[in-house]
Amino acid sequence: MEMVLPFVIGSLYAMAIYMLLRRSLVKLLIGLGLLSHASNLLIFTASGLTRFKAPVIPMTAEQLQSPHADPLPQALILTAIVISFGVTAFALALAYRAYRSVNTDDLDQMKSTDA
Protein backbone atom coordinates (compact mmCIF):
# COMPACT_ATOMS: atom_id res chain seq x y z
CA MET A 1 0.00 0.00 0.00
CA GLU A 2 2.76 2.42 0.91
CA MET A 3 4.08 2.14 -2.62
CA VAL A 4 0.69 2.55 -4.29
CA LEU A 5 -0.68 5.53 -2.42
CA PRO A 6 2.00 8.07 -3.42
CA PHE A 7 1.16 7.35 -7.05
CA VAL A 8 -2.54 7.71 -6.36
CA ILE A 9 -1.94 11.03 -4.60
CA GLY A 10 0.35 12.23 -7.37
CA SER A 11 -2.17 11.43 -10.06
CA LEU A 12 -4.95 13.04 -8.06
CA TYR A 13 -2.90 16.23 -7.80
CA ALA A 14 -2.10 16.07 -11.51
CA MET A 15 -5.75 15.60 -12.42
CA ALA A 16 -6.79 18.38 -10.05
CA ILE A 17 -4.37 20.86 -11.57
CA TYR A 18 -5.35 19.81 -15.10
CA MET A 19 -8.98 20.44 -14.23
CA LEU A 20 -8.22 23.76 -12.53
CA LEU A 21 -6.55 24.98 -15.70
CA ARG A 22 -9.58 24.22 -17.88
CA ARG A 23 -11.80 27.07 -18.93
CA SER A 24 -15.07 25.53 -17.80
CA LEU A 25 -16.43 26.58 -14.43
CA VAL A 26 -17.71 23.09 -13.60
CA LYS A 27 -14.35 21.52 -14.31
CA LEU A 28 -12.76 24.10 -12.05
CA LEU A 29 -14.99 22.90 -9.21
CA ILE A 30 -14.16 19.26 -9.94
CA GLY A 31 -10.52 20.26 -9.80
CA LEU A 32 -10.96 21.85 -6.39
CA GLY A 33 -12.69 18.73 -5.12
CA LEU A 34 -9.89 16.48 -6.35
CA LEU A 35 -7.34 18.81 -4.79
CA SER A 36 -8.81 18.40 -1.34
CA HIS A 37 -9.05 14.62 -1.77
CA ALA A 38 -5.39 14.50 -2.72
CA SER A 39 -4.42 16.54 0.34
CA ASN A 40 -6.48 14.33 2.63
CA LEU A 41 -4.86 11.18 1.27
CA LEU A 42 -1.48 12.86 1.65
CA ILE A 43 -2.09 13.41 5.39
CA PHE A 44 -3.19 9.80 5.66
CA THR A 45 -0.08 8.47 3.95
CA ALA A 46 2.53 10.85 5.31
CA SER A 47 1.61 10.14 8.90
CA GLY A 48 2.34 6.46 8.47
CA LEU A 49 0.22 3.63 7.14
CA THR A 50 0.06 1.11 9.92
CA ARG A 51 -2.10 -1.96 10.45
CA PHE A 52 -2.07 -1.98 14.23
CA LYS A 53 -4.71 -2.19 16.90
CA ALA A 54 -7.26 0.55 17.40
CA PRO A 55 -6.07 3.07 20.00
CA VAL A 56 -8.59 1.98 22.62
CA ILE A 57 -7.52 0.91 26.10
CA PRO A 58 -8.89 -2.60 26.71
CA MET A 59 -11.03 -3.25 29.78
CA THR A 60 -8.32 -5.41 31.33
CA ALA A 61 -5.46 -2.95 30.92
CA GLU A 62 -4.51 0.35 32.48
CA GLN A 63 -2.56 1.75 29.57
CA LEU A 64 -2.69 1.82 25.82
CA GLN A 65 -0.91 -1.21 24.37
CA SER A 66 1.51 -0.48 21.63
CA PRO A 67 1.71 -1.00 18.76
CA HIS A 68 -1.44 0.96 18.04
CA ALA A 69 -2.56 3.08 15.14
CA ASP A 70 -2.26 6.86 15.46
CA PRO A 71 -5.79 8.29 15.66
CA LEU A 72 -4.82 11.93 15.13
CA PRO A 73 -4.33 11.93 11.32
CA GLN A 74 -7.76 10.42 10.91
CA ALA A 75 -9.24 13.13 13.11
CA LEU A 76 -7.43 15.74 11.03
CA ILE A 77 -8.72 14.23 7.79
CA LEU A 78 -12.24 14.02 9.15
CA THR A 79 -12.15 17.72 10.02
CA ALA A 80 -10.71 18.56 6.61
CA ILE A 81 -13.37 16.49 4.82
CA VAL A 82 -16.17 18.25 6.66
CA ILE A 83 -14.69 21.65 5.86
CA SER A 84 -14.16 20.81 2.20
CA PHE A 85 -17.72 19.49 2.03
CA GLY A 86 -19.08 22.81 3.21
CA VAL A 87 -16.80 24.84 1.02
CA THR A 88 -17.58 22.75 -2.06
CA ALA A 89 -21.31 23.15 -1.46
CA PHE A 90 -20.83 26.90 -1.29
CA ALA A 91 -18.64 26.91 -4.40
CA LEU A 92 -21.30 24.97 -6.34
CA ALA A 93 -23.99 27.46 -5.39
CA LEU A 94 -21.68 30.33 -6.26
CA ALA A 95 -20.86 28.79 -9.64
CA TYR A 96 -24.54 28.44 -10.39
CA ARG A 97 -25.23 32.08 -9.47
CA ALA A 98 -22.23 33.21 -11.51
CA TYR A 99 -23.47 31.18 -14.45
CA ARG A 100 -26.90 32.79 -14.13
CA SER A 101 -25.58 36.33 -13.98
CA VAL A 102 -22.79 36.08 -16.58
CA ASN A 103 -24.67 33.63 -18.81
CA THR A 104 -21.65 31.51 -19.60
CA ASP A 105 -19.50 28.95 -17.84
CA ASP A 106 -16.40 29.97 -19.77
CA LEU A 107 -13.90 31.49 -17.35
CA ASP A 108 -12.30 33.46 -20.16
CA GLN A 109 -15.50 35.48 -20.43
CA MET A 110 -15.39 36.38 -16.75
CA LYS A 111 -12.80 39.07 -16.73
CA SER A 112 -14.78 42.28 -16.54
CA THR A 113 -13.37 42.80 -13.05
CA ASP A 114 -9.76 42.56 -14.23
CA ALA A 115 -9.85 45.91 -16.01
- Which residues contribute to the site for other proteins (CB under 8 A)? 20, 25, 28, 32, 35-36, 38-40, 42-48, 72-73, 76, 79-80, 83, 86-87, 90-91, 94-95, 97-98, 101-102, 107, 110-115
Radius of gyration of the chain from Cα atoms? 20
Separation CA 105–CA 51 (nearest Å): 45
CA dihedral angle for residue 13, residue 49, residue 85, residue 108, rounded to 10 degrees: 0
Contact 43, 68 (CB under 8 A): no
**CA 71, 43, 84: angle at the middle one, nearest 5?**
100
Cβ neighbours of residue 54 closer than 8 Å, sequence gap 6 or more = 68, 69
CB of 48 or CB of 58, closer to other proteins:
48
CB of 4 or CB of 46, closer to other proteins:
46
- State the nearest-atom distance from the C-beta of 53 to other proteins, in Å: 19
CB of 60 or CB of 103, closer to other proteins:
103
- State the nearest-atom distance from the C-beta of 41 to other proteins, in Å: 9
- State the nearest-atom distance from the C-beta of 94 to other proteins, in Å: 6
CB of 18 or CB of 90, closer to other proteins:
90
